């Protein structure tokens, strides 16, 4: 009963409803199964030092904070390259064979390893759509979005990439602290002061993705170039390479729900939060009589 679940397609924010790739499949499983996964998680110690958010009681915003601190270190004529990478269908394409190999080499207790392998053997799912449920079908790859173990297993799947970048000493440092790839699960960011070094980091990511059977979506990945002089636009804006595809330089990108921009970053994010609060307020007013509150923008200094 732990091996079956019901997938509910959820439309991604801001996407059109008539394209299949715009839906995220969230799997609903039995409560007893989730309790069992929590027990395994507590004993397996799947927390990885290469990815601090979503573990040790921290928030995903810790990765966003590291990125902000790195950008704030840039001054004068310095330039920092910020690359956000989008893993295509990240959780859905995890190879079970490679995942179990990773867990084995991480030194996971053999009994727990056998339990996790059994949990991912003979897995089936159904799809629920508009009140109707499909017949069951077999699942041969991926970790379930919505599963207790899923995020931690996915992080173990990619952690070797992050460790490799650090071992090679590629990327940005704040003092003696390495912060070259602040990451939360599939939200990977690469930071470097040097164009050639950034390209080398991208080459390593490309090779790792091919070996581990996942794709980096070049059209949804972005590079922004921030300078210490906020009044001056960066001069180096040539495209980077991810395999045979170009990664174009842009003036803004998104990481963990926050907009990262070459200019007016604070104002853009404040405006986004006000708009989000306004939409939430109006949606709540439809459910009952609420007082009219008009969100206003506080005076801020960029």
Q: What is the mean pLDDT of each run of 10 residues along the chain (302 residues)?
A: 85 84 86 90 71 52 81 82 87 91 90 92 91 91 87 88 93 90 85 93 94 87 81 65 86 80 80 82 64 55 48
Strand partners, 5: 125
Q: For residue 208, what pLDDT is reported?
A: 93
Contacts for 154 with CB less than 8 Å, ≥ 6 apart: 90, 91, 94, 143, 185, 186
The model carries a pTM of 0.79
Q: For residue 48, what pLDDT is reported?
A: 56
- C-beta separation of 243 from 253 below 8 A: no
Query: What are the extents of the domains in the chain?
Result: 4-275
Report strand pairing: 79-88 vs 222-227. Answer: antiparallel
Dihedral over alpha carbons 193, 255, 26, 284 (to 10 degrees):
170
Q: Which of 72, 90, 88, 60 is nearest to 191 (CA)?
A: 72
């Amino acid at each position: 009963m732990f091996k079956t679940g019901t997938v509910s397609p959820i439309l991604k924010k801001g996407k059109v409803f008539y394209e299949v790739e715009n839906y995220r499949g969230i799997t609903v499983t039995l409560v007893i199964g989730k309790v069992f996964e929590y027990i395994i998680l507590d004993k397996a110690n799947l927390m990885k030092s290469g990815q601090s958010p979503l573990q040790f009681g921290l928030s995903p915003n810790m990765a966003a904070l590291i990125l902000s601190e790195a950008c704030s270190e840039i001054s004068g004529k310095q330039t920092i390259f910020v690359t956000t990478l989008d893993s295509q269908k990240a959780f859905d394409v995890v190879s079970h064979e490679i995942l179990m190999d990773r867990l084995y080499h991480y030194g996971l207790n053999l009994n727990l390893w056998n339990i996790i392998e059994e949990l991912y053997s003979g897995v089936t799912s159904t799809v629920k759509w508009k009140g109707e449920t499909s017949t069951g079908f077999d699942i041969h790859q991926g970790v379930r979005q919505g599963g207790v173990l899923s995020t931690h297993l996915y992080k173990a799947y990619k952690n070797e990439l992050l460790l490799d970048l650090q071992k090679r000493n590629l990327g940005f440092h704040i003092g003696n602290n390495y912060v070259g790839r602040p990451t939360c699960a599939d939200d990977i960011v690469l930071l470097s002061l040097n164009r050639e070094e950034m390209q080398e980091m991208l080459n390593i990511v490309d090779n790792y993705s091919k070996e581990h059977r996942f794709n980096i979506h070049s059209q949804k990945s972005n590079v922004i170039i921030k300078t210490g002089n906020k009044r001056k636009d960066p001069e180096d804006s040539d495209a980077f390479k991810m395999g045979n595809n170009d990664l174009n330089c842009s003036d803004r990108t998104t990481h963990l729900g926050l907009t990262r921009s070459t200019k007016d970053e604070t104002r853009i994010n404040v405006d986004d939060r006000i708009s989000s609060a306004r939409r939430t307020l109006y949606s709540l007013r439809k459910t009952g009589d609420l007082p009219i509150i008009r969100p206003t923008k506080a005076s801020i200094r960029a």
